Amino acid sequence: GDSVTQMEGPVTLSEEAFLTINCTYTATGYPSLFWYVQYPGEGLQLLLKATKADDKGSNKGFEATYRKETTSFHLEKGSVQVSDSAVYFCALPNAGGTSYGKLTFGQGTILTVHP
Amino acid sequence: EAQVTQNPRYLITVTGKKLTVTCSQNMNHEYMSWYRQDPGLGLRQIYYSMNVEVTDKGDVPEGYKVSRKEKRNFPLILESPSPNQTSLYFCASSSSGGRGVAFFGQGTRLTVV
């Protein structure tokens, strides 16, 4: 079945540091890929997405490129801010069958950014 | 404003006392799901619904029930809660055949003692 693996956390950085959160996936075919973010006390919201191989999703300074050859969708940001402190989830939608409508999530990576 | 609304946000209950967590969306989405979030496990799907009166089990359905009598509402029912159901619960809705972007509620933190 489909699966998503994220790098172990938590991740602690100083403001303006470079961020990478690794995400690899196993799936049938070539699904869309998502990064969701969960700020403290809130629900998940879409951060960025890519719908096909070699697509680059970007939003709020974050970027991720859909790499079919390495089945990866790593999240990057060149200069993090304290306001980026949150939990980040990599996710992919299931292709159908009995899992129709389901998102498969990675374990989540807790990011803390210090001033 | 497009949103998914869950209630309550926080709930402490005792083992065996039936409870319902409500979920409502205003985007006319066909697809709705319930997830639970536990540390180190990410989010796991409990139940989903593809449309009114169409529901099915997700990965962790034991101990839960759902219903979909109206398109906008998708309540989660715990008939006899147990401590292992202590968790953070999220309702989500999506269009695009269920494979599009999902919109999430703010979550319900449930504690069963």
Cβ contacts of A10 on chain B, cutoff 8 Å = none
What DSSP element (H or E) covers A56?
A: strand A56-59
pLDDT tens figures, B35-68: 999 988 889 999 999 889 989 999 899 999 999 9
Task: Give CA–CA dist A77/A58, Å, rounded.
Answer: 10
For A30, the token pair is: 């070539």
pLDDT tens figures, A27-80: 877 788 999 999 998 899 999 999 888 999 999 999 999 999 999 999 999 999
Cβ contacts of B37 on chain A, cutoff 8 Å = 108
Q: What angle do CA A13, B88, A33 make, to 5 degrees?
A: 60
Inter-chain CB proximity B106 and A101 less than 8 Å:
no
- The predicted pLDDT at position A93 comes to 83
Task: Answer whether B56 touches A (CB < 8 Å).
Answer: yes
- The predicted pLDDT at position A21 comes to 97
Inter-chain CB proximity B90 and A44 less than 8 Å:
yes
Task: Give CA–CA dist A33/A64, Å, rounded.
Answer: 10
Task: Answer whether A100 touches B (CB < 8 Å).
Answer: yes
- The predicted pLDDT at position A8 comes to 75
Searching chain B, which residue's CA lies closest to the CA of residue A108?
A: B42
User: For the purposes of burial, counting CB atoms within 10 Å of the CB of B92, is it exposed (0-12), middle (13-18) or buried (19 or more)?
Assistant: buried
Half-sphere exposure of residue B75, counting CA atoms within 13 Å on the CB side? Answer: 13
Closest CA relative to residue A61, chosen from A81, A31, A39: A81
Q: Please check the confidence at residue A82 and state whether its pLDDT lies above 90.
A: yes
What's chain A's Rg over C-alpha atoms? 14
Task: Answer whether A106 touches B (CB < 8 Å).
Answer: yes
Is the model more confident about B42 or about B90? B90
Q: Please check the confidence at residue B11 and state whether its pLDDT lies above 80.
A: yes
